[in-house]
């Protein structure tokens, strides 16, 4: 069995690209190979994803997989430049960027008849706003030092304005996944719902002088917490998994109100060369077997309720993983976010981080 991993490194705005072939080779002919698909995914956890999903998929179907990696924005730019003739059959991408691609007709509807596993996954994973299903999701909440705070204290949005922790908390920048979820959570708590940007920015602006850092990566925030520079940070639950498993005095909790989650979607680009292979891959990706393995090895929260959630994840999120919607979590409507994204990012810089 040969699996090819091609890592694309964006050199200039995602346009100049270097391809590194780590193993195997892809088809060199002009005709698409029915026994090969290209899957575009995130640049982290590739080896784990290969072990959990790709290798078992190839073993079961005989379809070889070429893995192409890059950031959400770089990979979407590549798809736009392809002009309807993509080199990708499946793109695994965060929900906001999936919605952006849909605006430009870069993705086609996944055929439910060709993907039986769609019947087995949670309703939020098949919402009509997207033409491709969610295969994993991320919960927003607060990661905190158990030496300094209780779970009840960390679950309050008002924590970030408390004088007792001024200069010892961190919040995400709006440009990252946790950032939009945080903004919507604050808007829900202090305004008229998750899209009340005026209320959210006013509140976040008041908290800003006491925020040590508006972070843009998981490494930044986990380092701040483990080094004792902060006692709490709004973050995705996955940021806490390794820290909790290692025995650090750190925990994560869902907010008492304003609970929002992001999804990662499995999308088929318009003009994909091997749609049949793409459908078979997505069907496997959503299966109980793949969802269980991905949760165990990659750390993904599964959208298939029949999948087994490992102890490492349950230690962080508890029984929320069994049914996040029942636990009060909701997804955000991309039709509300896509048209306003640039304006909200600009306002966040002016009204929050610059204070």
Residue 246 pLDDT grade (very low, low, confident, very high; cuts 50, 70, 90): very high
DSSP secondary structure code for residue 300 in this structure: P
CA 312 vs. chain centroid, Å, equals: 18
> Any bridge partners for residue 211, and if so which?
169
Each residue's pLDDT tens digit, 204-219? 999 999 999 999 999 9
Q: Are 235 and 143 spatial neighbours (Cβ–Cβ below 8 Å)?
A: yes
Each residue's pLDDT tens digit, 39-87? 999 999 999 999 999 999 999 999 999 999 999 999 999 999 999 999 9
Look at residue 31 in the predicted model and tell me its pLDDT: 61
In this prediction, what percent of the chain has a pLDDT beyond 70? 91
Q: Which two structure tokens, joined as six digits, stand for 219?
A: 């490494």
Q: Which two structure tokens, joined as six digits, stand for 251?
A: 């925990």
pLDDT surpasses 90 at 23: no
pLDDT surpasses 80 at 30: no
Look at residue 36 in the predicted model and tell me its pLDDT: 97
Helix (H) or strand (E) holding 177: helix 177-190
Kindly tell me the burial class for residue 219, based on how many C-beta atoms sit within 10 Å of its own C-beta (0-12, 13-18, 19 or more). exposed
Residue 355 pLDDT grade (very low, low, confident, very high; cuts 50, 70, 90): confident
All domains in the chain, ordered by first residue: 4-136+263-309 (3.40.190.10), 137-261+329-353 (3.40.190.10)
Residue 295 pLDDT grade (very low, low, confident, very high; cuts 50, 70, 90): very high
Look at residue 32 in the predicted model and tell me its pLDDT: 65
- Which pTM was predicted? 0.89
Look at residue 34 in the predicted model and tell me its pLDDT: 81
- What is d(CA 44, CA 291) in angstroms, rounded to the nearest whole number? 18
* One-letter-per-residue 3-state SS of 42-103: CCCCHHHHHHHHHHHHHHHHCCEEEEEECCHHHHHHHHHHHCCCCCCCEEEEEHHHHHHHHH
Look at residue 317 in the predicted model and tell me its pLDDT: 98
Cβ of 124: how many Cβ atoms within 10 Å? Answer: 17
């Amino acid at each position: 069995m040969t699996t090819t991993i091609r890592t694309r490194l964006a050199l200039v705005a995602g346009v100049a690209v270097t391809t590194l072939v780590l193993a195997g080779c892809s088809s060199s002919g002009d005709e698409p190979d029915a026994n090969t698909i290209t899957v575009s995914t995130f640049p982290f956890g590739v080896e784990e994803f290969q072990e959990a999903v790709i290798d078992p998929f190839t073993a079961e179907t005989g379809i070889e997989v070429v893995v192409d990696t890059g950031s959400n924005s770089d990979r979407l730019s590549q798809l736009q430049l392809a002009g309807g003739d993509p080199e990708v059959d499946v793109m695994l991408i965060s929900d906001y960027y999936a919605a952006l691609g849909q605006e430009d007709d870069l993705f086609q509807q996944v055929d439910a008849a060709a993907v039986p596993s769609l019947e087995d996954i949670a309703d939020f994973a098949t919402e009509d706003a997207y033409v491709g299903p969610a295969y994993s999701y991320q919960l927003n909440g607060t990661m905190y030092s158990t030496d300094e705070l209780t779970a009840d204290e960390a679950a309050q949005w008002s924590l970030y304005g408390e004088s007792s922790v001024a200069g010892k908390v961190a919040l995400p920048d709006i440009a990252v996944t946790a950032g939009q979820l945080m903004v919507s959570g604050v808007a829900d708590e202090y305004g008229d719902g998750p899209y009340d940007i005026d209320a959210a920015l006013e509140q976040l602006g008041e908290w800003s002088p006491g925020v040590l850092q508006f972070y843009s990566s998981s490494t930044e925030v986990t380092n701040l917490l483990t080094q004792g520079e902060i006692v709490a940070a709004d973050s995705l639950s996955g940021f806490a998994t390794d820290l909790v498993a290692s025995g650090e005095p750190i925990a994560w909790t869902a907010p008492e109100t304003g609970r929002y989650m992001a999804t990662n979607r499995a999308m088929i680009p318009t003009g994909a060369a091997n749609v049949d292979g793409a459908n078979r891959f997505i069907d496997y990706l959503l299966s109980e077997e793949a969802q269980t393995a991905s949760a165990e090895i990659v750390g993904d929260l599964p959208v298939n309720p029949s999948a087994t959630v490992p102890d490492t994840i349950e230690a962080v999120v508890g029984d929320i993983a069994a049914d996040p919607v029942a636990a009060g979590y909701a997804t955000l409507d991309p039709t509300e976010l896509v048209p306003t994204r640039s304006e909200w990012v600009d306002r966040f810089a002016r009204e929050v981080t610059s204070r």
